[in-house]
Homo-oligomer: A and B are copies of this chain.
Amino acid sequence: MTRKHRATLSDVASKAGVSPVTVSRAIRHPEMVSKKLRERIDNAVRSLGYIPNHLASALASHRTNIVGVIVPSLTNGVFDDYLAAIQDVFSLANIQVLVTNVRYSAEKEEKAINTLLGYHPEAMILVGVDQTDNSRQMLTNAGIPVVQTLDLTDNPIDLNIGLSHDDAGYAAVEYLRSLGHESIAHLTARGDPRSQQRHAGYQRAMDTFGLSSEGLVALTPRISTVQLGRRLFAEVLDRQPGVEAVFCCNDDLALGALFECQQRGIRVPEDLAIVGFNDLEFCAASVPPLTSVGTERIQMGKWAAQNVLEIIRGSGQRPDKCQVNTGFTIHERGSSMPAHKTVHGTRGTKARVVS
């Protein structure tokens, strides 16, 4: 049976022979309603298939139970566990996460912020620190907690947790240099601001070590894929057959580079060392397994959500630390070295060997 329109609070109230307010209470604060009425109301709710209208509720209570989250992509495995971590925290608090995928476009992000704010979210969680002035303005005006994640800035909108991608890029090169490599290539995808920073870190390191990067960098404006990793590395190999190592701005490109080596019979790591970024699951499974710079994506998502929750549902206190550097970890595997150990970097400044 499909009714003309869905049951409302009043419908339930009539059916149960009580006033709408009482129904509202029976749903929000059952302990404030007598057992007898509660049962009658529960029955009415069930028999009508009543589902509270969230919009009306939010409008009246000034509690939307909505948090807005914007991610730049879903295609690479980078943002799933980050998102899942955020959802896990909020779902326990009955807060709905509104996710928008803006595909690495600051313009789309601006539009998404505008749209999401229309839902009056109680907080916003963003990726990166490269929002447009307009975006920053809107977020500030909204007067809600805002968290920028996965990157660091001197001038955060509000809360900020992340790492220095410049330092991470530097560390990757430093690591390869420490293995004795000098001709270190770099594959990168323009369009992702954090990849650009890793590129900058790569360049800074090459300069610092007095190494030339001429002909060793390949970049694409497109979304990176494994296939693209093969192509970009093929370019480098054709230009600089003597290349000894390659640092890729993400693991997809790194896997592509590995496949290109397999195809050409280049031995990894004997002839060429590969380092990826993000430490996705497949890095540990490939042959040889891929060395990769890992970041604390889950921790960052969790921290963002927990701090937001504390502010909007807790004592209303701001957290002690409004900015957190989660650093990064170089997971050393067979693609760069036969031996097994792990290099860890905290605060993005010094890399230390963990085990």
Interchain CB contact (< 8 A) of A6 among B51, B141, B230, B287: B141
Q: Which residues of B contact A101 (CB under 8 A)?
A: 83-84, 87
Look across to chain B and name the residue whose beta carbon is closest to the beta carbon of A264. B287
A interface, over-half SS: helix
Look across to chain B and name the residue whose beta carbon is closest to the beta carbon of A99. B99
Nearest Cβ distance between residue A97 and chain B, in whole angstroms? 8
Say yes or no: is A2 at the interface (Cβ < 8 Å to chain B): yes
Say yes or no: is A284 at the interface (Cβ < 8 Å to chain B): yes
- Quick check: A226 and B120 within 8 Å, CB to CB? no
Q: Provided the pairs A49-B138, A230-B285 are in contact, do residues A75 and B80 lie with their beta carbons within 8 angstroms?
A: yes
Q: Which residues of B contact A81 (CB under 8 A)?
A: 75
Say yes or no: is A54 at the interface (Cβ < 8 Å to chain B): yes
Look across to chain B and name the residue whose beta carbon is closest to the beta carbon of A227. B285
Q: Which residues of B contact A56 (CB under 8 A)?
A: 59
Say yes or no: is A229 at the interface (Cβ < 8 Å to chain B): yes
Q: CA separation between A229 and B284, bound complex, in Å? A: 12
Nearest Cβ distance between residue A101 and chain B, in whole angstroms? 7
Q: Which residues of B contact A322 (CB under 8 A)?
A: none
Which of these binds chain B: A16-24, A110-118, A191-199, A271-279?
Answer: A110-118
- Quick check: B54 and A118 within 8 Å, CB to CB? yes
Q: CA separation between A96 and B116, bound complex, in Å? A: 9
Say yes or no: is A142 at the interface (Cβ < 8 Å to chain B): yes
Q: CA separation between A101 and B59, bound complex, in Å? A: 26
Q: Which residues of B contact A321 (CB under 8 A)?
A: none
Each complex incorporates copies of this chain amounting to 2
- Quick check: B87 and A118 within 8 Å, CB to CB? no
Q: Provided the pairs A281-B226, A282-B255 are in contact, do residues A2 and B140 lie with their beta carbons within 8 angstroms?
A: yes
Q: CA separation between A241 and B160, bound complex, in Å? A: 53
- Quick check: A285 and B75 within 8 Å, CB to CB? no
Q: CA separation between A227 and B118, bound complex, in Å? A: 43
Nearest Cβ distance between residue A114 and chain B, in whole angstroms? 6
- Quick check: B49 and A119 within 8 Å, CB to CB? no
Interchain CB contact (< 8 A) of A75 among B51, B77, B230, B287: B77
Mask of A189-233 contacts with B, CB within 8 angstroms, 1/0 = 000000000000000000000000000000000000111011000
Say yes or no: is A179 at the interface (Cβ < 8 Å to chain B): no
Of residues 45 to 101 in A, which have CB atoms within 8 Å of B's CB atoms? 49, 51-56, 58-59, 64, 74-75, 77, 80-81, 83-84, 87, 96, 98-99, 101
- Having A51-B118, A55-B64, A75-B77, one finds 10 other A-B pairs with CB under 8 Å, namely A3-B141, A6-B120, A6-B143, A51-B117, A54-B118, A59-B59, A84-B101, A227-B282, A227-B284, A255-B285
User: Can you name 8 A-B pairs with beta carbons within 8 Å?
Assistant: A6-B143, A49-B138, A51-B114, A53-B59, A55-B120, A74-B83, A229-B285, A256-B285
